[in-house]
Amino acid sequence: MLNEKGQRELAYVVKIDGICAIEGADRVEVAQVGGWRIMVHKGQFVPGDLAVYFEIDSRVPEREPFLFLESKHYKIKTQKYFKGTVISQGLLMAAEDFGWERESLKLGEFLTEKLGVTYAVEEDNARKSSSADRYKKMASRHPKLFQMAAVKWIYKHDWGKKLLFLLFGKKMDKKTGWPSWVSKTDEERIQNIPWVLEDKSEWIATEKIDGTSTTATLRKTGKYRYQFYICSRNVVFDKPDKKSYYDFNVYTEMAEKYHFEETLKNIVDKYGLEWVTLQGESYGTGVQKRDYSLKEHDFMGFNLIFSDRGRLGSRESAELMKEYGIPWVPILDENFILPDTVEELLQTATGKSVVDGGMREGLVLRSKDGSKSFKAVSNEYLLKYHG
C-alpha cells in the first residue's frame, strides 16, 4: 500500500473483510482483505477484526514474534497450498502476537518502520533508507545528545526528526539531492484498491516489464544551460564512479545507448518546457531472475512527464519516443474495460510477454489521459519468479 507520500508501506493495520473455508482443511482457512487472500489458522479472525498485514515482497526481523518464519528466511511471498488450490499472499498477525491490546490497533496505521520490516530484495531497501541517511549522520555526530530519553522520544517521530535536523543537521548530512521535480513512486497494486474496478471507462493496458526502475530527467537552467540526471530508483548517478547496486551500471549504459540527454534537450527546447522526465524499466541479463532471453540489457519507457502538462498518455508518449528511437512498453489494449473482480483481472494479467513470448509479469492499467494508473501482477509469475 502506498502512503500519502507515494511510498510503499510493507506492514499496516487492516480490517478482515471475510473468512472462507478451504475444502478438506481442518486447521486453516482463508481471510479476505481487500483484494488479498491470506491463509490463517481457523478461528484466528472473524470478519470485522483488525489485524496487522505484511505485504508480499517484504522481510520481517529475525526475532520474536517472527521466529516461525525462519524456514522461509523471514520473507513474505506468494505461496500455493493444498496441491495448488489455494494461493496465499502476505501474512496476517493479531495484536496479541505483539503483546498489544486489540483496542490499540488503528485501521490504516502504517507499522513498517515500527516493526522493522524491510523489502525482501536488498536493492529496494536503499530507497526506504536513503531519506533516513541524513538523520543517522546527524545522530552519529551527537552521540550523547541522542542517548537522552527526551531526544530519543522526539527522534521516533517524523516531525521530530525534521525538527532535530533543523537544529543539529548540517549541509554535509544531506545525500546527493534527488531532482526536486521528480516524484519517486510505486504503482499501487489492484489488491489494495479493488474499488477502482467500478470505473467502467476505457483504460490503456500495457505490459509490465520486470526490470529495474530507471529515470532520466533534464531541466533547463539558462539559454544554453541544462541539468541532466540519470537515476535508479534510489541513486542519482551524478559522478562517473558512483556505484550501482549491480556489478554493472545499467542506468548510465541505457542513457548512452539511447542518447537520453540529447533527446530530452531536444524535447525541452522543442516544446518550451522547464523540464522533462522519462521513466522506464531497464531489463535483461543479470537484472532480475527473468532476463527476457537477452544476453545484454535493454530499456522500455512507461512514463513521460512534461513540466507544463504532467504525465502524458501512453499512446502519445509511445509515438513521441518512437521519433527518437526509444522503446516503449507494449500497449496491449487501448480500450480495456476493467472486469468486476480482482480475481478476473489477475487472470487477465497472466499471459505471454510481447518481448520474447515467455511469461509476462502482469499489466499496468492507465487512464487515457495518463493521470491515473495501477498494476495487476500475475500470481503465476510471482510463484515462478518470486515465490
Inform me whether the pLDDT recorded for 49 exceeds 90: yes
- Centroid of chain to Cα 118: 12
Inform me whether the pLDDT recorded for 324 exceeds 90: yes
Inform me whether the pLDDT recorded for 51 exceeds 60: yes
Alpha helices in the chain (DSSP H): 112-115, 122-130, 133-141, 149-155, 158-168, 250-257, 260-271, 314-323, 342-349, 379-385
Inform me whether the pLDDT recorded for 99 exceeds 60: yes
pLDDT confidence of residue 126: 53
pLDDT in tens, 239-293: 666 777 777 899 999 999 999 999 999 999 999 999 999 999 999 999 999 999 9
Q: Would you tell me how many other CB atoms lie within 10 Å of the CB of residue 24?
A: 8
pLDDT confidence of residue 370: 85
Inform me whether the pLDDT recorded for 238 exceeds 50: yes
User: In the predicted model, what is the mean pLDDT of the chain?
Assistant: 90
pLDDT confidence of residue 323: 97
- Is the C-alpha dihedral spanning 103, 104, 105, 107 positive or negative? positive
Task: State pTM to two decimals.
Answer: 0.79
Beta bridge partners of 92: 53
Mean pLDDT of 16-22: 95
pLDDT confidence of residue 41: 95
Confidence of residue 33 (pLDDT cuts 50, 70, 90): very high
pLDDT confidence of residue 130: 45
The C-alpha atoms of residue 294 and residue 297 are separated, in whole angstroms, by: 7
Q: Which residue has the higher pLDDT, 137 or 235?
A: 235
Separation in Å, CA 193 to CA 17, 18, 201, 376: 14, 16, 16, 11
Mean pLDDT of 115-126: 76
Q: Say what percent of the chain tops pLDDT 90.
A: 70
Confidence of residue 116 (pLDDT cuts 50, 70, 90): very high
Q: Would you tell me how many other CB atoms lie within 10 Å of the CB of residue 48?
A: 9
The C-alpha atoms of residue 130 and residue 250 are separated, in whole angstroms, by: 20
Mean pLDDT of 356-361: 96
pLDDT confidence of residue 128: 46
Inform me whether the pLDDT recorded for 137 exceeds 70: no
Inform me whether the pLDDT recorded for 352 exceeds 70: yes
Q: What is the set of domains in the chain, with CATH numbers?
A: 11-120 (2.40.50), 131-173 (no CATH), 190-385 (3.30.470.30)
Inform me whether the pLDDT recorded for 95 exceeds 60: yes
Cis peptide before 327 (omega within 30 of 0): no
Mean pLDDT of 116-138: 65
pLDDT in tens, 160-208: 888 888 888 765 445 456 788 888 767 899 999 999 999 999 999 999 9
pLDDT confidence of residue 315: 95
Collapse the DSSP code of 362 into the 3-class scheme (helix H, G, I; strand E, B; otherwise coil) and give the result: strand
What's 105's DSSP letter?
-
